[in-house]
Structure 1
């Protein structure tokens, strides 16, 4: 009888726990990792940070188009001349570099797609199974760091927040859905700030894709379309700025972008179809770099020599000799061979090229190229009680954003972080 009673109690507790997790804050995939749902007394006294990503927002858009709300924001806060992304200058690795302060070679999210030797699986931004799998993501992103100190966090989209990294998500988060309007995201951010101080998130991340979407479709030199998208986004941001001010809370807003955008001619697309050889190797295409993974390591030199003979508007490298990286790449998931297009060229499949031709798309926008190309640079703007007014810094690498946000929130900086606070110390009040 007692055994049955204990079993009933266990079942009851399991059901209640399931209901609480399903209806409360972000659910934890790993039950052994505690999720912060209430701020500690120390966290309640900390300021607030809203980290906003404007995907694909090139460094020169504000100066070119003078959006009123962003222009005022910059005048009343601080800015860097540009934010230098990591190579390849793609969306997922650079968002996660901003979130962790680590180069992709170290945090493991090498590109929008890459092969993982340990898992024997290809990570891809289009594959939900890999996107939400926290084991692909190394390092300690800001929300995981904050969670470990007893600080409530929230996210309306940011790379990594959907995954159970170290067993946790932000306290409040949403799975990515591009159909969610910008206004809905802003409204929710304000609702979070209106929560009680015990449950109010001190770190909020927001993501807006407008400039990336427009840049890819029309190219960054289509002034009419870029300006139209920018002014619409600027209006939404102005609404956010005003409503944040009205809360009276010590909120610091940090605005970044993952990369810039370059115009690409369809005439300079290189077909990857002639380079495919499923018998000898697996090849991952990220447009500006092809990662080659031999099925048999003993064939590496043979494959390298074969590909060298095919060079035409691209160059084949052993990974250790590949240009554009910040440091010699050591992560084995790059594979032993890299193929890099010449300046102005971009890899694409025949199918994609023909689709563009059928749509009369002569030019469009791409990114991923070397960070040395200024068109690849993004933005870094900040404003708030912790931020200097009128400070203007030189171009800075995106690895340094992480320790600056940690400084504002009073979070510890992990020893394995590549970024240094000293590079952005000038943005902060003494």
Structure 2
């Protein structure tokens, strides 16, 4: 018969496990570092940051449509003319660049899909197994940095928070579920701020996909649809702003987006099928760039020459010579050969092209193109007690957001970060 001591011990462990679910403190076994569940005395003295990502929110949407709450937020706070993403201007690599202050070449999340030679596996945002595997993610994202310095953190979605990076998640986090309403996300953020100060998160991340969803479906020039989605999102954000103010806490809100959006004509889609050659190489398609991975390195020049002969509205490059990067790409996982579509063109499967034509869809929205294209630029707005009211900065790269948030929270900045505080120092109060 079980002893009473053992029974109550097991019952206690069950209750703790239930509380520490995906909406409570992270319950995954931490392989490298302990999880911070109580703020240190030093962290209790520090302010709060809510980092918001508005996926696919182009730099010019606010000026074009004048949503009241965001417009007021910007007027009372600071903004950059635009936030410049890294190439390829895709969702996962640029969210993780914002989270780590590192270029994709360094943090390792090269694109929405990429091949990892060390693991002999393809990472894909649609593959749950890879998304939650922290070993795919290099760098020290904000929540991991804060955790290491004794600060409680929380996330209602942000790229990387579902993975056990360096063995930890945010203290409180949710696994991504697109069915979670915007209001549920806002309500939870406020609940976190209403927690006792010992367990209250000082860093909260939130994610909203509305503008990306609408932009992809209708294209960024569909003014009626975009305005409808924007004003609905703006109302939700207005609710968040008001309720944050009502807490009386020193909360700084930083609003970013991962990329902008460009209109894409179906007539300028390039079928990838003629470029497939499974006998010689694997090909990873990210729309604006095809990564070519030869089965044997000795075949690289042969493959390069074969692909060059097929050039038609695209150009084949050795990786070191590939345009659009802010640096010479050195990460092995790019593969030795890249294929880039001409301006205005985009790679797609024949099946996808036919489906769009059948649906009588002439244009839609895409991103991923060179950061030199202004349509790819996102947003950076901020407001709070640490933010310089009325600050207006030129366009700035998204690598610089990380050290700014570290400065607000009093966190040290890892030495391998590519971003520099100096680019956003004028956004902060003295």
SS in 2 for 1:407: helix
> How many angstroms does 1:30 deviate by?
2.4
Q: Which residue of 1 aligns with 2:280?
A: 280
Listed as ranges, the matches of 1:191-210 within 5 Å are 191-210=191-210
Listed as ranges, the matches of 1:40-119 within 5 Å are 40-119=40-119
Distance in 1 (CA, whole Å) between partners of 2:424 and 2:112 is 28
SS in 2 for 1:328: coil
Distance in 2 (CA, whole Å) between partners of 1:424 and 1:339 is 35
> How many angstroms does 1:18 deviate by?
6.2
8 A Cα contact 2:254 2:380, kept in partner: yes
Distance in 1 (CA, whole Å) between partners of 2:98 and 2:398 is 6
Relative to structure 1, the CA distance from residue 244 to residue 338 in structure 2 (aligned partners, 3 Å threshold; closer, same or farther) is same
Give the ranges of 4+ consecutive aligned residues of structure 1 lying more than 6 Å apart after TM superposition: 8-15
Listed as ranges, the matches of 1:244-259 within 5 Å are 244-259=244-259
8 A Cα contact 1:74 1:382, kept in partner: yes
Listed as ranges, the matches of 1:213-362 within 5 Å are 213-362=213-362
Asked if residue 386 in structure 1 is aligned to residue 386 in structure 2, the reply is yes
Query: Could you list the per-position Cα deviations for residues 233-259 of structure 1 after superposition, in whole angstroms to 9, with x for gaps in the alignment?
Result: 000000000000000000000000000
> How many angstroms does 1:358 deviate by?
1.0
Listed as ranges, the matches of 1:16-35 within 5 Å are 17=13, 19-24=15-20, 25-35=25-35
Q: Which residue of 2 aligns with 1:414?
A: 414
Query: Could you list the per-position Cα deviations for residues 50-103 of structure 1 after superposition, in whole angstroms to 9, with x for gaps in the alignment?
Result: 000000000000000000000000000000000000000000000000000000
> How many angstroms does 1:33 deviate by?
2.2
Distance in 1 (CA, whole Å) between partners of 2:429 and 2:36 is 29
Distance in 2 (CA, whole Å) between partners of 1:10 and 1:329 is 57
> How many angstroms does 1:16 deviate by?
5.1
Aligned pair count reads 425
8 A Cα contact 1:113 1:124, kept in partner: yes
Query: Could you list the per-position Cα deviations for residues 347-400 of structure 1 after superposition, in whole angstroms to 9, with x for gaps in the alignment?
Result: 000010011011111100000000000000000000000000101000000000
CA RMSD of aligned residues (A): 1.6
SS in 2 for 1:95: helix
8 A Cα contact 2:266 2:353, kept in partner: yes
> How many angstroms does 1:163 deviate by?
0.2
Q: Which runs of 5+ in 2 are unaligned?
A: none
> How many angstroms does 1:27 deviate by?
1.1
With normalisation by structure 2, the TM-score equals: 0.97
Distance in 2 (CA, whole Å) between partners of 1:14 and 1:95 is 40
8 A Cα contact 1:82 1:396, kept in partner: yes
With normalisation by structure 1, the TM-score equals: 0.97
Query: Could you list the per-position Cα deviations for residues 263-297 of structure 1 after superposition, in whole angstroms to 9, with x for gaps in the alignment?
Result: 00000000000100000000000000000000011
SS in 1 for 2:403: helix
8 A Cα contact 1:28 1:35, kept in partner: no
Distance in 2 (CA, whole Å) between partners of 1:350 and 1:132 is 31
8 A Cα contact 2:31 2:166, kept in partner: no
Q: Which residue of 2 aligns with 1:127?
A: 127
Distance in 2 (CA, whole Å) between partners of 1:238 and 1:255 is 13
Asked if residue 150 in structure 1 is aligned to residue 147 in structure 2, the reply is no
> How many angstroms does 1:168 deviate by?
0.4
8 A Cα contact 1:266 1:362, kept in partner: yes
Distance in 2 (CA, whole Å) between partners of 1:21 and 1:293 is 44
Distance in 1 (CA, whole Å) between partners of 2:161 and 2:18 is 17
Distance in 2 (CA, whole Å) between partners of 1:306 and 1:13 is 67
8 A Cα contact 1:80 1:394, kept in partner: yes
8 A Cα contact 1:58 1:375, kept in partner: yes
Distance in 2 (CA, whole Å) between partners of 1:202 and 1:392 is 26
SS in 1 for 2:215: helix
8 A Cα contact 2:32 2:166, kept in partner: no
Relative to structure 1, the CA distance from residue 105 to residue 32 in structure 2 (aligned partners, 3 Å threshold; closer, same or farther) is closer
Query: Could you list the per-position Cα deviations for residues 25-49 of structure 1 after superposition, in whole angstroms to 9, with x for gaps in the alignment?
Result: 1113325521001101110110000
